[in-house]
Amino acid sequence: MTDSSTLCYDVPRLLQMFESLGENCDLGVVQRAVGLEPFGLFRFAACDAACLAALVRARFQPLCESEDLWLDVVGPQREFWVKSRHFSFESHTNRFADRDSAQVTHAGEVEKFRYLKASLLRELSRGRKLFVFRGNSDLATLRGIASELKTYGPNHLLWIALANPSHPAATVERDSEDLLLGFISRFGTYDDAPILPVEEWVSVCAQAYRLWRHEEPPKVHVDNLIAQAVSADACRWLSGSNAVTRKLKEPARAGGVVFEHRLVSDERTCAYRVQLPIAAGGNYTFSAWLKVPEHFRAAQVGVMLGGNPHTTIWMADPKTHTRWQRTWVYSKLPDDARSISCDLVMAGQPGEVFHSASWCLERGTRPSGYGFVL
pLDDT, tens digit, 9 for 90 and up, residues 41-72: 999 999 999 999 999 999 999 999 999 999 99
Is pLDDT at 3 greater than 50 in this prediction?
no
Give residue-wise pLDDT tens across range 227-239.
999 999 999 999 9
Q: Does the pLDDT value for residue 2 go beyond 70?
A: no
Query: What are the tens digits of pLDDT across the range 72-105?
Result: 999 999 999 999 999 999 999 999 999 999 999 9
pLDDT digits (tens, 9 = 90+) for 192-206: 778 899 999 999 999
Is pLDDT of 168 > 80?
Answer: yes
From-to residues of CATH 2.60.120.260 in the chain: 224-363
In this prediction, residue 254 carries a pLDDT of 82
pLDDT score of 194: 85
Q: Is the dihedral of CA 119, 24, 140, 170 positive or negative?
A: positive
- CATH number of this structure's domain 224-363, picked from the four choices 3.30.70.260, 2.60.120.260, 3.10.129.10, 3.60.9.10: 2.60.120.260
Whether the per-residue pLDDT at 298 is higher than 80: the answer is no
Span 128-166, pLDDT tens digits: 999 999 999 999 999 999 999 999 999 999 999 999 999
Q: Which residue has the higher pLDDT, 298 or 215?
A: 215
Contact residues for 87 (Cβ-Cβ < 8 A; gap 6+): 47, 51, 54, 55, 63
pLDDT for 1 equals 40
Contact 341, 270 (CB under 8 A): no
Give the model's pLDDT for residue 4: 57
List phi, psi (to 5°) of 183: -130, 135
